[in-house]
Amino acid sequence: MINNIFNDIEPSPQMVKKFYFLDYIYILLQSCKIYNDKVDVFFNFKILKEKESLGESKYKRLTIDKSDLTNKQVQRYIYTFNQVIIEAVNYNLIKEKNRFINITDLGIEYLTIAEKDKRSFYHLLLKSMESKYLAFYHLVKLCYAQNKTKNGLLIFPIYSPGKLGLEKDKMKTNGSWIDYCSKLKRKLEFDCSRFLEQKYDLEEANQTLLNNLLNDNVLSNERDEIFNSLKYNSIINRIRKYWLNYFLNNIYDYPYSFETFNIWVERGKQLGVVHTTEFYPEFDGRLVFPTSLIIKKNSNKDLYQLYEYPTGEKLFIHRLIWNRDNQDNFVEALITCYFELKRSRGTNFIRIADLRERVCYKKRIPSYIFNEFLEKIYLKNLKGQTTVQISLEADRLPYETNAMYLKREPVSINGQYKNIIAIDYRKNI
């Protein structure tokens, strides 16, 4: 049934190379413009990688690896470098022969555009990616098919024992873990009903999980037997991974690996095709939803075409035009979501990142559109041209803490990063 939504198009998202940040291709092209010896290209690539804080995970790094890298770290750098090379070759942006890498005319064209406008460069990359893999066609279609009532929302709930009211120091027996799995099952069923508006009986799936844990001697049938506390984190990770894969493969019918799904979702977020977050307020887990449409005809000026398929269908992202109507609608969403968060938090200043998640979900817009609109509204606010008062502060930014990865991007306003926001109606209007 799901296959019918793809109109005989055969996507191959699993063929993608293993890296998340699209800027990897940008810094490779920069390096290849200067050097053509592969060793020289690699060292320049490494320098730019650190300059742009690009990590091997889906998060940017806040720390720089020491100059005396371990062999494992060097191999990780080289692996990412080679993955980016293969994909860039597939797009005809570079050519590799023996120990030499040369940038092509198309690569020069992409690089020139990237140096003027990064967003346009991303759009060019989308066309290259989609022509090879049709991954976003598959992903966006799948989202809408699996949750029509919530405009393509996919949920991946994650609950540790603590989130379900089970204290760590009380998880001492096999029985406590069996009870946790049962409680988790019921919570997942509730979330499916709430967010997907479908009823799922997950008893069989839960029993499969327990059988796996029993067969691998992680747990035993003796409920009163003491559980090895050293295995606490490993069993949590195993249970979490099981349910994430179950949701992806069994509930959403995604036929590829979780790794493939992650790569395309994270790339899609950078492009404005989908939005994903692990930090949605009052939800434990991950949300994924489209900020784009695949349709044949469109008259909405807020939809921007990025790609046309052989079927005549077109991929449009929700890129709001800055006009009075959109400005007013954005401010309305901003105020509504702000006061919802303020009521639940009991404080005037809230995290901009939390507000961004709420507004992006409500308006179905990419996070970079939120950033652009907030900056424009704030600057108008400073000139007294808005009906609300907006205060933005820096607070403590991620790089001022001991964090290793930047998991939530702050908003840049006039070149300065802001992290918290307070909103109030102006009393003189």
Average of pLDDT values for 211-221? 93
Q: Other CB atoms closer than 10 Å to residue 365's CB: what's the count?
A: 25
Average of pLDDT values for 179-201? 96
Between residues 104 and 61, which one has the greater pLDDT? 104
Q: What is the pLDDT of residues 101-154, one digit of tens each?
A: 999 999 999 999 999 999 999 999 999 999 999 999 999 999 999 999 999 999
Average of pLDDT values for 264-274? 98
Q: What is the pLDDT of residues 380-390, one digit of tens each?
A: 999 988 888 99
The H or E element containing residue 293 is: strand 292-295
> If pLDDT is split at 50, 70 and 90, which confidence band does 12 have?
very high
Q: What is the pLDDT of residues 363-377, one digit of tens each?
A: 999 999 999 999 999
Cβ(92)–Cβ(59) under 8 Å?
A: no
Which pLDDT value is given to residue 359?
A: 97
Which pLDDT value is given to residue 402?
A: 65
Which pLDDT value is given to residue 429?
A: 40
406 contact partners, CB below 8 Å, separation of at least 6: 53, 59, 60, 61, 62, 398, 399
Which residue matches tokens 């200067």? Answer: 34
Which pLDDT value is given to residue 177?
A: 96
What is the residue-averaged pLDDT of the chain?
Answer: 92
In this predicted structure, which of 63-72, 293-302, 312-321, 388-397 has the lowest mean pLDDT? Answer: 63-72
Establish how many alpha carbons lie within 13 A of residue 227's alpha carbon, considering only the half-sphere containing its beta carbon.
Answer: 25
Compute the residue count for the chain: 429
Residue 41 has pLDDT above 70, yes or no: yes
In single-letter form, the type of residue at position 81 comes to F
Which pLDDT value is given to residue 1?
A: 43
Which pLDDT value is given to residue 5?
A: 67
Residue 272 has pLDDT above 70, yes or no: yes
Which pLDDT value is given to residue 209?
A: 97
Which residue matches tokens 């460069």? Answer: 121
